[in-house]
Structures are given as structure tokens and as C-alpha cells.
Chains A and B, each alone.
Chain A
Amino acid sequence: MATKKIVRVKVNGREREAEVEPRLLLVHFIRDVLMLTGTHIGCDTTNCGACTVLLDGKPIKSCTLFAVQADGREVRTIEGVATNGKLHPIQEGFREEHGLQCGFCTPGMIMSACALLEKNPHPNEQEIRWGISGNLCRCTGYQNIVKAVQYAADKIV
């Protein structure tokens, strides 16, 4: 077992620090060390996108990154999307357009949608579908997820 390393990551605006094994995955760091369980593990193989978080604003699948690789960087998770108890327009969209059933893929979907709308505030349907193409939904609710992102895009203006 390799020696532990100190990792400092800014998570949802708050500086967090922990001593972790170098082999610890970022998603386990987020879920088990920081206890932010909103980020899910769906497949463990970088297929499903349930573990998507924003690393320095870019969507990444946190089961594919080691926690030590996030050292000195900024992570945003689903817990940091709403501000002061007010839902983000994307979250509102998922609720209004019935963009979820079981909700397991939802945090990852929302993070991917966040990244998409930050880069492209007015995507067309094709661009939305491309934007969430790294996220799988097994309730097969893509139609309503696209509507949810469109709802948010219309609202953000």
C-alpha cells in the first residue's frame, strides 16, 4: 500500500482537505470521505455518467479520476448546484418536465447539462442530446430530459 497523500480540493466553494491513498477514486473521495452522496456510482466503468461532476467547470466522470488528480482544483457536485436553497433552472426543468423517474442518473445529467448551458446557453435539440450523450438513463426518459434542459435554456435567457 502506497503512502497516503494529502489532497486539497475546493468542493462547491469550500476548501476540503484529506489524507487519502493514491488509488482512491475521486468519486469515492466525494462520496465516502466528504460524504456527498448525491454523486452516484452506476457502472464503475465510465459508461453511465452517474458520477459526473464538474472539474474546473468541465464535466468529468469522477470514477475515472483519482482523488489526487483533483488536488488543487475545483469540483462542483449536485449538492452545489442550488444556491441558498433556490433551485437552479436546470433542476426546476427536471421537476417541471418530469425529467426523472428513479432519479439515479439525475445528478450526473444535471451536471452535464450545467456544463452544456454554461458553454452554449441556447442549444438546439441536437446539441442537448450531444451534451448529455455521456449519461445513461435506464428509465429511458431522454425525451423529458431534453425538454428539461430546453426549459432551463429558455429560463436562463
Chain B
Amino acid sequence: MQPIKITIQGDYYDCQIYRGRLYLWTFEGGLKVYDWNELVDSLIESDLNRIAMTFSFKDGNYLYKNALIEIFKDQEFKELLIKKFQEIENTKYVLNEKQISKFLFGEQDTPTGLLPTDTEIYANKLYFITERGLFAGSAHRSKSDKYPVSSRPSKYWDCDLLSIKANRYPQLALSGGDEGLFELNLLENNWPKNLDLIENNKKPVFQVSNHHSSFSNYSYANIYNSSLVEDSFLALFQWSKYEDELKKDRYRRDFDRTISGDKIFSNDSAYNYLSWGVDDKMYRAKKNGFEVIKYINTFDPEKKRFKKLADIDLKEWKGRVIGGGSAHFGNIVECENALVVVQSDGNTFTIPEPVTRWRVYPRSLNYENHLHVILDDRLEIYSFHHDYFSNQMEKNIGIEFQPKEYKTRIPVSYLDESDNDEGNDDFDKKDEGHNIDIIEFDIDDFDADDLPF
């Protein structure tokens, strides 16, 4: 199975997709926001392709449903769906800037006037870093607002960071190169007790480590810190139980310790072979492939946390490995001269040229299967669909899809008005039928009951 691709021609520097909107930062300093659903719908030429296009680009979550896993055990159903995907695999969906202009939701100068080094959209807020520091402003605004994102974002910190990454607890990991690894905590209180608070302008920033950090990502409540200069490591956090004023049990996410990459991976490796980790798996590149480790999310100190899954052999990398990430559909390896996707079904997919930027959205609700790649003169949006048919517990590559984690009190699929029957009381009835317009998640409502264990 090949991924399906939409190409958008233009000179872009960054991209994000969030709740039905595609955000494109142009190299000239503009920010253009498009109605993604209308754009995808415009590419559907026949109802015979509607299901494949919808699952590929608008509703990547739906086919992971438990009920469908049962249906896919029926080989005829499975083959029919695979055939639907295969029928559009070779179609060239190419749009130029004029063609996508009819789907423009809004445009503005990029906030602060500087191109972002990195961006995240989380809980309806755009977080971004430039040479002037870390900023945040509202995103996913209504059509009646003058701009699609805030043109006057708040400055949270003046550190010139390298990259940022959000988790769901809710924090942002901040990689500051030789300044170290930091974390922005979005909770109003209940902050970690054992990390140094180094900035509290709008929101608190804590120093997690003073070791070099090139980029970082979350493995459950922990942060895997990747360094292109030193040994990489896992910063381990633990949930500390305490009683609040009302004698209710509460949990606070405290720092525990760091574990060196050399203790996680078995292969001898100098630090020039990069490692990275996302959720349940950690990867370290080696000369002709990489090593995969399963991280067992346990709080029991007696249990083994790391289990070697596999050594994956590949043809030599296309230049030095300089970045990595993971999605449910596979492991993404950024080399100096190519981007390689090692898929969860064992196949590899290569984009054989240097990329400006790439993004995956494994923590999103509809775009888990997307890979966005910005090249010199275009954005390529890939949709991978092989992972729906993988055994999530047994696959060696890619994040394990855990449906339980995705239970929400609100419907998220285009095809469902009620994605989960449990606890749907908060669903705003007037949003029915427009079910990606989810209720805004209030980070201050974070409760220990929401913890994933």
C-alpha cells in the first residue's frame, strides 16, 4: 500500500493542521489559513472515492475503532476497503496557490513578523518560537474575527529555543540547545515540586535538565530528550499523590530522574547516532538501520521499563541522521538528504531530497495518519492507511494505537454523531453535525481522574 498524496504548490516555511483548518506560513512572512475539509471535498470527483478520501485526509481516527477491528477480521470487508484506497493511490492531487485561494479562511502577517522556528497548536492556542522567544496567542478563531490567529500574541519567555512539543497533561517541552531542556507548564497550580522555576512571566517555565537538547517529545508523562551533540536521555516523571484542602486525592506530576540513552539501548553507539522516543517506543539510529525499544509505562520500580523489540536493518541512511519522530503509521527518520518513513508494516517510503520541514500529528484526533513535508516549492500532504490493518499490540514500529486513550466526552469523527456513548453530557447539542468543532478543553479543569491509569 502506498500513501495517498495532496500537493500544494508554493513557498512555505511551516504548516499545521488543526480542527479542520490548514495553517500555512509563507516564506514571505504571511500566515494563510484554509478550510481543509472544503479543500479535500473539492478533490473528490466521485462518490466511489469519498470513503477513501475522507478516511485518508479528514478522519484518520475512525478506522482505528474497536468495532471496525472486528469487521476487518472479515477478509472481504478488509479487501474492499484496501481496494478503495488503492484506487486513489496513483491519483495526482495537485493544487496551486490560485486553486486553493477559494478555500482561504483568513490570512494575516505572521504574528511578531518573524518566521517561526517551530510551532504547536494546542487547546485552541498557537504556541511558537522565534529568535525573540516563546509566544502564544489564540488560534481557531471564528470567521467574524479579523485574523485567524491572534496578531498580538503574549510573550512567555525570551529564550531563543530550537524546538517545542506539546503533550496532553498539559505541558510543552522546550529544547534550548546548550541551555538545556525546559518545560512550560500550562496548569494554574499543581506544578512539579522538584524542578527549578526559571521564568514565570505568563506561565511557569521549569528547567528539566541542563544537558544539551536539540528536540524532545513526550513518552506518556516523560520527556525523551534528543541531542545532536551529547548523549540523549529520558527525563522520567512520576505522579505524586497528595490531599487537597477538601481532602480529595490529587496527583502532581513531579520530576523523578534522567535515564541515559546508553542505558535504554543495547547497541554500542557513539552520540552521533541520534535517538528519539515518542509514547511507547524509542529508537536509536545506527549505521544501517535502527534499534527499537518498547517503553513500558509502569510506576512500579520493580518492573522493567525497557524491552528490546527489534533491530531494523535498512540500506544506508541518505546522509547523517539529523532528526526523528514517530506516528502510529511508522517511524520518521530525517537524514541530511532525504526523509525516510519506516512504516509499521515493515515497508519503507523515501522522499529523496532535503526537506525544509516535516510534521506528524499523532496526538491529534483526525490527522494521526498525516505526514506533512515542506519542500523548496511545495507542501506535500501524505496519508498512510496501512496501519489500520496492523496488530497494534504486536507491531515493532510506530506508536501503538490505544483506543482507550482516545475516549472523549465529545464526538470527534465526521461519521459519528456520538463517537463514544460514555459521558457525553458535556456535548453542546447545537454543534451536532459539525462534530470536529469540539468543546474547548479548559486546562484549568485538569483533574487526577483524567490521568491515563
Q: Do they bind each other?
A: no
Instruction: Give residues in B with beta carbon < 8 Å to A.
Output: none
A binding-site residues for B, Cβ under 8 Å: none
